[in-house]
Chain A
Amino acid sequence: MHLKYESQLREPLVNGEKTFHQVTEDIVRPIEAKPSRLWYIGFYIAVALLLFGIYSIYRDVTYGIGQWNLNKTVGWGWDITNFVWWVGIGHAGTLISAILLLFRQGWRTGVNRAAEAMTIFAVMCAGQFPIWHMGRVWMAFFVLPYPNTRGPLWVNFNSPLLWDVFAISTYFTVSLLFWYSGLLPDLATVRDRAFTKLRKRFYGVASFGWTGSTKHWQRHESLSLVLAGLSTPLVLSVHTIVSFDFATSVIPGWHTTIFPPYFVAGAIFSGFAMVQTLMVIIRKVFEMEDYITIGHIEAMNKVIVLTGSIVGIAYLTELFMGWYSQNKYEGYTFWYSRAYLFSPYGWSYWGMMACNVLSPQIFWFRKMRRNLFVTFFMSIIVNIGMWFERFVIIVTSLYRDYLPSSWSVYYSPTIWEVGFYAGTFGLFFTCFFLFAKYFPVIAIAEIKYVLKTTGESYKDKMGHLENVAPEVFAHSGHGHTVVENDGAAH
């Protein structure tokens, strides 16, 4: 995949006069150095949040879902909102690593590792909600279709919740494999540089005996392609299936055929926003500005403005259909419960509109796309907006559905609902901090692939070579970058 020509007019993907060795040094440094004070502070905050989340779940399991403010009409609230939100976030990683790999987008190399890790952690967080929101979580294994002595009693294959079980577990498994298989060469690099026995042992086991032989590389490449091929439909299917939780129901505001594409676009939108949030921090904290360049940031901002606009079109389509269908129930949900600013949850709809549709339009401006502060701020805004979106879909549809008699009182979360959500942040960041400390946050090997075609220094040289007559290159095999033995320490 590195056998390609790239115009020198394109921005370099790796800045600075990097050599292969420098790349390794730069990326492995955080693993080998003592964590900074900042890392500790962040880590402890994350663990504290996680513990609070565990306590919140403990209450929910021991005392019942009544620890939350859900009611007879609003059966899902923050729980499923957070579930969909986290699953959505978990889309960017696989999209970057799989679809962009297939589309040969070289810029993905700088961000794919962290994005994939984020995907896995986000899916882990997402998975907590459907599990712990069950009234009898100790019976959760009922959702698994296994031969049993109860009849045998099978699961209900008609239920979108069951499809969720399959979709998310498959997605998680494939993403994890993809991520981990990509990690192998880099773990071997770390192993080879290890200076303590424990590290050697740990990374030795973790790298599965990677030696960097050509055969290994060949299989690795094939595996990557196969997994990319597998993941690609998953990126689209997972959120499609999550959207079926709503789309197959009868509730106005849920029962909508537009949901699958709209959810996928929204998921990519929020996923990229989360990647931005993390990348802006990582490149600063780990001094990796040369690898995660402004160019990367800009590319992702383009995706954000694109998907944000798709989502915006979806919102407007829904509104239009709410009117055009002349269905009074749809009409009420879309035009009163949501779009009417002064209805009880009108604020959440307009919050969503402001965050997801209006504010990303700022990225039509190149200056803004390349502004780190704006990017960081917008990435947060987008994720808030996407949280609102799920909240709007779930709560505003449920709380006033068909029978006016069952319209509910105002639903707002209890501390334990918020605590559960905070706890998943704790889980996410605990994992992410550990990841950042013990794993290479940038794919070393993949950076090295692209270094010689798109690295800054090489581009400079390329510029120089452009003026050289082609005959000079005859039989020189130019454009074929020789990969160093990545397994060896530099």
Chain B
Amino acid sequence: MEQKKHWQSFGELNQSKAYNKDVKDEFKEELPFVADDESKSFLNAKAPRRDFLKYLGFSTAAAVAAASCEMPVKKAIPFANKPEDVVPGVSKYYATTYVQDGDVVSVLAKVRDGRPIKIEGNELSPITKGGTSARVQASVLDLYDTARLRFPTIDGKEVTFEAIDKAMAASLNGPAVILTSSITSPSTKEIISQFIAKYPGSRHVTYDAVSFSGLLLANETTYGKRAIPSYHFDNAKAIVSIGADFLGTWLSPVEFARQYAIGKKLDEKNPEMSKHIHFESVASLTGSNADEKYLHRPSETGAIVAALLSAVNGQGATGISDPKLKAGIENAAKALVANKGAALVVAGSNDVNVQIAVNAINEAVGAGGKTIDWSTPVNYRQGVDADFARLVEEMNAGSVGALLISGANPAYTWVDAEKFKSGLKKVKTTVSFNTKVDETTELCKFVIPDHHYLESWGDAEAKAGYYSFLQPTIYPLFKTRQWQDSLLKWTGNPSDYLAFLKTYWSAKVGGETGWNKALQDGVLHPSTVITSAAASFNGSSVATAVTALLAGKKGGEIELVLYEKIGIGAGQGTANPWLQELPDPVTRATWDNYVIVSPALARTLLNIDLNNSGEADAYEVNPPKKVVKVTVNGTSIELPALIIPGTHPNTIAIAVGYGRSEKLGKSVIGSGKNAYPLASLNGASVNFVNTNVTITSTGEKYPVALTQTHNRYDTPQGNRTEVMKEITLAAYKHHPTEIREEREAELKPWGGLEKFESQGTIYPVFDRPGIKWGMSVDLNTCNGCGACVVACNAENNISVVGKPEVLRGHEMHWLRIDRYYSGDMDNPTVVFQPMMCQHCDNAPCENVCPVAATNHSSEGLNQMTYNRCIGTRYCANNCPYKVRRFNWADYTGADSFPDNQAGIVNDVVLDMNDDLTRMVLNPDVTVRSRGVIEKCSFCVQRLQESKLTAKKESRPMVDSDIKVACQQACPANAINFGNANDKTSSITKTRIENPNRQFYVLEQLHVLPNVTYMAKVRNLEEEAKNNS
């Protein structure tokens, strides 16, 4: 066939001269300078003066005009040479490890275009199995903290590393003391020992802000090892905790939360679960999750442990006069004895004698080798307070020549910080390795900025034989150097830390390949699980300990407990805006610490009776809370008082970690007060309890930013059981369909459960083919820790709004954890309920939007179209779950109105808008501008990604493709997500397997939510109260 040629014009057909000229000159534009003749070049052309002036004038004016218009500077710079393994827009995941002050969590860092933007749990880790905590999730924000140290200094002046090394070489001429928090890195320990060898007489002191001295020393006495064993809550059928907040802050909460959840997971066909009995003085996360909880004075801890020991040994709970408490101890003993070999007792006390007695109980109930594993002792906490106290004495005596500090911050956390500071002044050479200027670094001569863990190489040995590795996920942002590098340099070791680490590990893991594999996995552990083992128990000290416990002095009228908050910890989280804005699971407060008082104490001290609806209302709806003054041995502190049910009437509590140095960043400014000075040094260990304090009302008020003001779902007009369903195990066993029948009764007017969807409406019912996303939350395993909340913040670029805005109910969290009390107000039952957009099939928000900015996807998602939203807030009003959030101000700087943040949003928010901090933003998620509504999207960006992945691989999507952010973060696996139309998906299986516990919140409204909750079952003997 002849090739056809199409012509577009006659010119082209005829190839006319004019046409060819036009084609040639189509885009040719010459300056209309007329050259004298063709031979002369352009430069020699005679430009008419007028033309020249005209062009000059125009171009100047144009340049001026262009320059005067403020154009936003876009800083998107493409790669000059594309790195081989970076695909723009595709995230890479690097296995690394979150290490902070002894905490070890194996994680994956999601790196997008060279920036780590999200931390996910590493599912290969046998310890955490992909679980994380709020602090782990928030740690990525610390990388981009504007307050980070950017260069090394000597006496506050910027210097180079060479200068510092030189100066150090001169200064390090005798024994030095290395002061650190607990070090889990074996290679670092090796480096420290090399350093000590180089400078003979040097030593390493481990100092933990909130130490486990009591436990360590007790174990030394009874087991001959100054170590902490591994605990296996998953093997325990009976758990007794005496003030140990093991799901929140005690030792290794991520690990324990996962184990605990295993025991709490309920199989509907065989409903059995572990029994958790908790004794505490102040409401804690763990106490809130307990099946039975008993309140006691802090000064009674010893007596309780002693009584429990005697009860376990069959001699009855002696020495306890309070009948409730006595019954509790007997219950606990009964449960422990009944589950011999599957029982575990833990205590949070830092008192050696308490821990010795607890060890004796654990021995009596056969915990060794079963729930307590001595074959893999943990390295989370190694510090003993007495060591540090001795160091402080020496410093004051002037016998310490050089002090190298990493991780420890005694100038803030030590009970007698002033003494430490005065001692520090007597030390000639003080070196601080730190990422930020904290209270101790501030006082040091040499300040060497350290890498953030996401910039670091390293290793961590969480427990014996279980390793986890760190690798950098980003090139160091500032002039920082890993502190191990400094030590190596000063030791005279020519290799840097990476080389050292590689050599150290290559030998152990079989060369380069093994090392690479270990780095890639991020974890290394024995191929077979190390069998649990008991340790030989030396009970000789028990009798003395018990005698000491029984001789413990009686507490005064009011006793004080200092505790760590889940987000803040010992103070590590104070400078992190995500953690500051994370509502404390127990108190639901943000941005402050406060004095926790019981409802009973509130009646006498604050004149507020929570059982009086008027007084309770006034207390709840007004953020300013009464300020009280707490005096401990002459030291006093004034803080607002929050009434927290579940606290012993004679006990008050204050969280440590607040009142930090303003150099740590904007989010510490005005945030709470330092409670460490209220602790006391009790010989060998710091005592975070004071049994005799005075508390007085000052008559002033201070606003506390609470995100939840009302705490009961029971109202004078009826118990809102459609909101929350809980049942006791006994009741459940007796009548497994109780909850289902309750639902049936609720829906009876509209056809009952079966026909509710069609009969609850006058509209036709539509098919929902294809994908239908659904979520299921198991309230039995959810412990309310808040990891999901922070994960959601990070994943979805949720704005931090600062305390003034939280006070006004403007917080932006897409996912919140509701906390409800029921029963006795003094010692209530507590339940947690994660609440996010329910993605209702019949969503009330959708039909009220005048512009259809919120609509329904064919996959069952309730979608927000930000650029269509005009901000009438009608959808938020009409949402029965109140999960929609409005951008009240320009929190993100994404607004088209310039200069509208100053004076409106607070400094923390401005700081979050800094170019550095904004590097944490997830590019897959739109940053919302002022005036639009936003809400949980079921992580639609992840869903799209997973669908695409499956599509590219030409296969149906499966469960393992998708993990939404909250689900990924959850240490307890309480959240299940997937395609509910897929018969094989785990969400479908969960729903089918749990017909009796499953419920929808506010089901009777016929909004048809896509989030199912599984009722909370509490392992209690007595029959459930008839709630319906």
Which residues in A have some Cβ–Cβ distance to B below 8 Å?
62-67, 69-76, 130, 133-137, 139-140, 142-143, 153-156, 158-162, 165, 245, 248-251, 328-329, 331-332, 335-336, 340, 342-344, 398, 400-410
- Residue B315 CB within 8 A of the other chain: no
Cross-chain contact A63 with B880 (CB below 8 angstroms): no
Cross-chain contact A64 with B820 (CB below 8 angstroms): no
- A and B contact pairs by CB, cutoff 8 A, 29 listed: A66-B889, A69-B808, A70-B886, A72-B811, A75-B876, A134-B870, A135-B871, A135-B931, A136-B869, A137-B870, A140-B870, A143-B870, A155-B850, A158-B848, A159-B848, A245-B874, A250-B878, A328-B715, A331-B718, A340-B613, A342-B613, A402-B880, A402-B881, A403-B881, A404-B712, A404-B720, A405-B816, A409-B621, A409-B809
- Which residues of chain A come closer than 8 Å to B708, judged between CB atoms? 405-406
Cross-chain contact A404 with B871 (CB below 8 angstroms): no
Instruction: Apart from A72-B886, A249-B877, list 18 A-B contacts with CB within 8 A.
Output: A64-B930, A71-B810, A130-B872, A133-B872, A135-B871, A142-B850, A155-B851, A156-B847, A158-B847, A159-B874, A161-B849, A335-B717, A343-B614, A398-B877, A402-B881, A403-B1001, A405-B819, A410-B622
Quick one: which of B720, B871, B904, B1002 has the most chain A CB within 10 A?
A: B871
The 9 closest A-B pairs by CB, nearest first: A135-B871, A135-B931, A71-B809, A328-B718, A66-B888, A406-B882, A405-B818, A331-B717, A75-B873
- Interface residue from A64, A336, A398, A410 paired with B904 (Cβ < 8 Å): A64
Q: How far is the CB of A417 from chain B (nearest CB, A)?
A: 12
- Residue B416 CB within 8 A of the other chain: no
Cross-chain contact B890 with A63 (CB below 8 angstroms): yes
Cross-chain contact A63 with B900 (CB below 8 angstroms): yes
Within 8 A of A (CB), among B46-88: none
Cross-chain contact A402 with B1002 (CB below 8 angstroms): yes
Cross-chain contact A407 with B889 (CB below 8 angstroms): no
Quick one: which of B618, B835, B852 has the most chain A CB within 10 A?
A: B852
Q: How far is the CB of A321 from chain B (nearest CB, A)?
A: 13
- Residue B89 CB within 8 A of the other chain: no
Task: Say yes or no: A249-B844 contact (C-beta < 8 A), given A72-B876, A136-B871, A162-B850.
Answer: yes
Task: Say yes or no: A404-B886 contact (C-beta < 8 A), given A72-B876, A155-B852, A409-B621.
Answer: no
Complexed CA–CA distance, A402 and B708 (Å)? 14
- Interface residue from A73, A133, A134 paired with B882 (Cβ < 8 Å): A73
Task: Say yes or no: A64-B852 contact (C-beta < 8 A), given A143-B870, A398-B877.
Answer: no
Which residues in B have some Cβ–Cβ distance to A below 8 Å?
613-614, 617-618, 620-623, 706, 708-713, 715-720, 723, 805, 807-811, 816, 818-820, 833, 835, 844, 847-852, 868-874, 876-878, 880-882, 884-890, 897, 900, 904, 929-933, 1001-1002, 1005, 1007
Complexed CA–CA distance, A130 and B874 (Å)? 11
Complexed CA–CA distance, A156 and B723 (Å)? 30
Cross-chain contact B715 with A251 (CB below 8 angstroms): no
Task: Say yes or no: A403-B870 contact (C-beta < 8 A), given A154-B852, A328-B718, A408-B709.
Answer: no
Complexed CA–CA distance, A130 and B684 (Å)? 67
Complexed CA–CA distance, A156 and B1007 (Å)? 19
Complexed CA–CA distance, A245 and B808 (Å)? 25
The majority secondary structure among interface residues of chain B is loop
- Interface residue from A69, A142, A165, A250 paired with B844 (Cβ < 8 Å): A250
Cross-chain contact B623 with A156 (CB below 8 angstroms): no
Cross-chain contact A249 with B848 (CB below 8 angstroms): yes
Cross-chain contact B808 with A161 (CB below 8 angstroms): no
Complexed CA–CA distance, A75 and B819 (Å)? 23
Cross-chain contact A64 with B887 (CB below 8 angstroms): yes
- Interface residue from A135, A343, A401 paired with B617 (Cβ < 8 Å): A343
Complexed CA–CA distance, A342 and B715 (Å)? 15
Cross-chain contact B889 with A63 (CB below 8 angstroms): yes
Q: How far is the CB of B570 from chain A (nearest CB, A)?
A: 29
- Chain B residue at smallest Cβ distance from A394: B877
- Which residues of chain A come closer than 8 Å to B871, judged between CB atoms? 65, 134-136
Complexed CA–CA distance, A66 and B900 (Å)? 12
Cross-chain contact A403 with B848 (CB below 8 angstroms): no
Cross-chain contact B930 with A135 (CB below 8 angstroms): yes
Cross-chain contact B1007 with A161 (CB below 8 angstroms): no
Complexed CA–CA distance, A391 and B170 (Å)? 75
Complexed CA–CA distance, A134 and B816 (Å)? 26
Cross-chain contact B931 with A249 (CB below 8 angstroms): no
- Interface residue from B718, B870, B877 paired with A76 (Cβ < 8 Å): B877
Task: Say yes or no: A135-B900 contact (C-beta < 8 A), given A336-B716, A336-B717, A407-B710.
Answer: no
- Chain B residue at smallest Cβ distance from A69: B808
- Chain A residue at smallest Cβ distance from B896: A138
- Chain B residue at smallest Cβ distance from A158: B847
Cross-chain contact B849 with A159 (CB below 8 angstroms): yes
- Which residues of chain A come closer than 8 Å to B713, judged between CB atoms? 404
- Chain B residue at smallest Cβ distance from A328: B718
Cross-chain contact B890 with A64 (CB below 8 angstroms): yes
Complexed CA–CA distance, A160 and B877 (Å)? 13
Quick one: which of B851, B882, B930, B933 has the most chain A CB within 10 A?
A: B851
- Interface residue from B848, B884, B885 paired with A160 (Cβ < 8 Å): B848
- Which residues of chain B come closer than 8 Å to A72, judged between CB atoms? 809-811, 876, 882, 884-886
Complexed CA–CA distance, A156 and B845 (Å)? 12
Cross-chain contact B872 with A134 (CB below 8 angstroms): yes
Cross-chain contact A249 with B897 (CB below 8 angstroms): no
- Which residues of chain A come closer than 8 Å to B881, judged between CB atoms? 402-403, 406
Cross-chain contact B851 with A156 (CB below 8 angstroms): yes
Complexed CA–CA distance, A158 and B886 (Å)? 22
Quick one: which of A66, A139, A328, A329 has the most chain B CB within 10 A?
A: A66
Q: How far is the CB of B611 from chain A (nearest CB, A)?
A: 14
- Which residues of chain B come closer than 8 Å to A336, judged between CB atoms? 613, 715-717
Cross-chain contact B809 with A161 (CB below 8 angstroms): no
Task: Say yes or no: A343-B870 contact (C-beta < 8 A), given A65-B931, A66-B889, A136-B931.
Answer: no
Complexed CA–CA distance, A156 and B843 (Å)? 14
- Which residues of chain B come closer than 8 Å to A73, judged between CB atoms? 809, 882
Q: How far is the CB of A158 from chain B (nearest CB, A)?
A: 4
- Interface residue from B717, B807, B868 paired with A332 (Cβ < 8 Å): B717
- Chain A residue at smallest Cβ distance from B865: A153
- Which residues of chain A come closer than 8 Å to B1001, judged between CB atoms? 403
Complexed CA–CA distance, A249 and B879 (Å)? 9
- Interface residue from A64, A71, A251, A400 paired with B878 (Cβ < 8 Å): A251
Cross-chain contact A64 with B850 (CB below 8 angstroms): no
- Which residues of chain B come closer than 8 Å to A248, judged between CB atoms? 847-848
- Which residues of chain A come closer than 8 Å to B820, judged between CB atoms? 404-405
Complexed CA–CA distance, A69 and B614 (Å)? 23
Complexed CA–CA distance, A342 and B844 (Å)? 32
- Interface residue from B613, B852, B886, B1005 paired with A65 (Cβ < 8 Å): B886
- Interface residue from A135, A154, A249, A250 paired with B886 (Cβ < 8 Å): A135
Cross-chain contact B900 with A332 (CB below 8 angstroms): no
Cross-chain contact A75 with B877 (CB below 8 angstroms): yes
- Chain A residue at smallest Cβ distance from B620: A407
Task: Say yes or no: A344-B870 contact (C-beta < 8 A), given A66-B805, A72-B876, A159-B847.
Answer: no
- Chain B residue at smallest Cβ distance from A139: B870
Cross-chain contact A66 with B810 (CB below 8 angstroms): yes
- Which residues of chain B come closer than 8 Å to A407, judged between CB atoms? 620, 709-710
Cross-chain contact B852 with A249 (CB below 8 angstroms): no
- Which residues of chain A come closer than 8 Å to B851, judged between CB atoms? 142-143, 155-156
Q: How far is the CB of B1004 from chain A (nearest CB, A)?
A: 9
Complexed CA–CA distance, A410 and B706 (Å)? 12
Cross-chain contact A250 with B900 (CB below 8 angstroms): no
- Which residues of chain A come closer than 8 Å to B622, judged between CB atoms? 409-410
- Chain B residue at smallest Cβ distance from A408: B809
- Which residues of chain B come closer than 8 Å to A331, judged between CB atoms? 717-718
Complexed CA–CA distance, A74 and B720 (Å)? 21
Q: How far is the CB of A374 from chain B (nearest CB, A)?
A: 35
- Which residues of chain A come closer than 8 Å to B617, judged between CB atoms? 342-344
- Chain A residue at smallest Cβ distance from B905: A66
- Which residues of chain A come closer than 8 Å to B878, judged between CB atoms? 249-251
Q: How far is the CB of B861 from chain A (nearest CB, A)?
A: 17
Task: Say yes or no: A405-B613 contact (C-beta < 8 A), given A75-B876, A158-B847, A161-B850.
Answer: no
